[in-house]
Structure 1
Amino acid sequence: MSSPTYIYKLVPTSSPVPDIVPDVLPLSDLDANSGFIHLSTAAQIPNTLRHFFADQDAVYVLRLVYAHVEKEIRWEGPQATVCGDRSDEGMFPHLYNGKPPKLGKDEVESVRLFTRVGDIWETTIIPEAQGWLVE
């Protein structure tokens, strides 16, 4: 597997991300309980949105430069107990950079707000992400 240029963190708008990313963003309950930060590749984002953000009208997508966090990433399979089998999506990047893990201005390269169009996220991803959501 070749290394991606970017990996991504999805954050609900109920946990607002400010215009200037702070040193440390609050952890989601899932990340805090897991002991690592769940991330996705660009190709994995549509299903991550469908499985974990179906009830959200908007999400923040945080883009991380993979080379900046590569040493702290473990590629691991998805746990089917969380949202069902996602083995066809390959391994997922997980950030292990401390106890508790942190994500903030040193890791986040840029942020976009994606607002869902219609009933499904897949119709949103194509127009809003062109040129920004890349592997």
Structure 2
Amino acid sequence: MIYKLLPATEWDDARAAGHLAGTAVDRQDGFIHLSAADQVVETARRHFAGATGLTLLTVDPARLGDRLRWEPSRGGQLFPHLYGPLPLAAVVAAEALPADVSADAAVAALLG
């Protein structure tokens, strides 16, 4: 599985639209940023420190086809990037993160 961390309001918008077109940063970069299980806690720490009202999506990469590419990013690590909208059918779970703990700690707790 791969993961997408985003504000809950953007997840609400995606459900209403029937797909996730990406966050503002995703649209700016031309692809949807995703993380592998061993990357998502650091993503939360770096990009969502102090943020509340977040949702963690668990995404089945097999449902994304050839629009999913693993490309070098932070420190040369390969990250999953989705070129095109994220279909709701690829999201196998959506977990709201508790507001009373840091995003990285909440993600770590969810992933066990």
TM range (shorter): 0.7 to 0.9
Partner of 1:87: 75
Higher helix share: 2
* C-alpha displacement of 1:73: 1.2
Matched, 1:27 2:10: no
Find the structure with the greater CA-based Rg.
Answer: 1
Q: Deviations over 1:48-105 (max 9, x none)?
A: 0011101212421111112122422111111xxxxxxx316x2100001xxxx21231
Partner of 2:6: 11
Please list every run of 5 or more consecutive structure 1 residues that lacks an aligned counterpart in the other structure: 1-5, 79-85, 131-135
Distance 1:75 1:16 in 2: 23
RMSD over aligned CA atoms reads 2.3
Kindly indicate whether the alpha-carbon contact (under 8 Å) linking 1:12 and 1:53 is maintained by their aligned counterparts in 2.
no
- After TM superposition, the score normalised by the length of structure 2 is 0.80
Q: 2:93 aligned to 90, 110, 114, which one?
A: 110
Matched, 1:43 2:18: no
| Equivalences, count | 111
Higher strand share: 2
- After TM superposition, the score normalised by the length of structure 1 is 0.68
Aligned-pair identity in percent equals: 29
